[in-house]
């Protein structure tokens, strides 16, 4: 194994530990999640470099995942698209693309970014231990915080505000 592979595996281990950690655990040795995703999965986060990224892992059968959806839609409606990218990772844990279409329609999320984790490789990469789970990435692609449980709107906005993400200008 070369040094680069060892560094990437160490980053994966840190990410897995963070997902199992306390509420919105801060990243101490922040792995570059964008680099890891681009290296090991089909999820390409490189278009979002320069923006804060909120990644949410969900399934439609997960009650708590569906409880988060209106709040995630509120984030999309509240924060500047120039500063925040929201990526919803639909883990195909007994599901398929029909479930994504259902969630999009039910919660008015047709314009939002969804990634179909058909082979569950993205979920495996981050060591997903259950649903829902969320990652907050800095504009450089490094992990800022992670949670492996349902977040409230207040927790989501609190984290994004702490990261300095601008809200959309109020319409007049």
- What DSSP letter does each residue of 151-165 carry, written as one string? --HHHHHHHHHHTTP
* pLDDT tens sequence across 75-119: 999 999 999 999 999 999 999 999 999 999 999 999 999 999 999
Band (171; pLDDT cuts 50, 70, 90): low
* Percent above pLDDT 70 for the chain: 81
Domains and CATH numbers, the chain: 3-162 (3.40.30.10)
Q: What is the DSSP-derived secondary structure letter of residue 138?
A: -
pLDDT for res 30: 63
Per the prediction, the chain carries an average pLDDT of 86
Global pTM?
Answer: 0.83
Is there a contact between 128 and 114 (Cβ–Cβ < 8 Å)? no
Band (16; pLDDT cuts 50, 70, 90): low
Band (172; pLDDT cuts 50, 70, 90): very low
Extract the runs of DSSP E, i.e. beta strands, from the chain. 25-26, 52-58, 84-91, 113-117, 133-137, 143-147
Mean predicted confidence (pLDDT) in 51-56: 97
């Amino acid at each position: 194994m070369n040094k680069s592979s060892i560094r990437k595996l160490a980053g994966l281990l840190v990410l897995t530990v963070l997902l199992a950690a306390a509420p919105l655990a801060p990243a101490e040795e922040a792995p570059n999640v964008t680099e890891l995703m681009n290296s090991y999965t089909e999820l390409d986060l490189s278009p979002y470099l320069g923006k804060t990224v909120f990644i949410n892992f969900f399934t439609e059968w997960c009650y708590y995942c569906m409880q988060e959806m209106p709040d995630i839609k509120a984030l999309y409606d509240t924060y500047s698209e120039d500063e925040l990218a929201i990526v919803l990772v639909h883990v195909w844990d007994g599901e398929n693309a029909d479930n994504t279409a259902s969630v999009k329609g039910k919660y008015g999320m047709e314009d939002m970014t969804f990634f179909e984790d058909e082979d569950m490789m993205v979920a495996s990469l981050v060591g997903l231990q259950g649903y829902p789970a969320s990652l907050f990435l800095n504009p450089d692609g490094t992990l800022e915080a992670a949670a492996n449980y349902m977040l409230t709107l207040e927790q989501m906005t609190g984290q994004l505000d702490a990261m300095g993400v601008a809200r959309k200008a109020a319409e007049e």
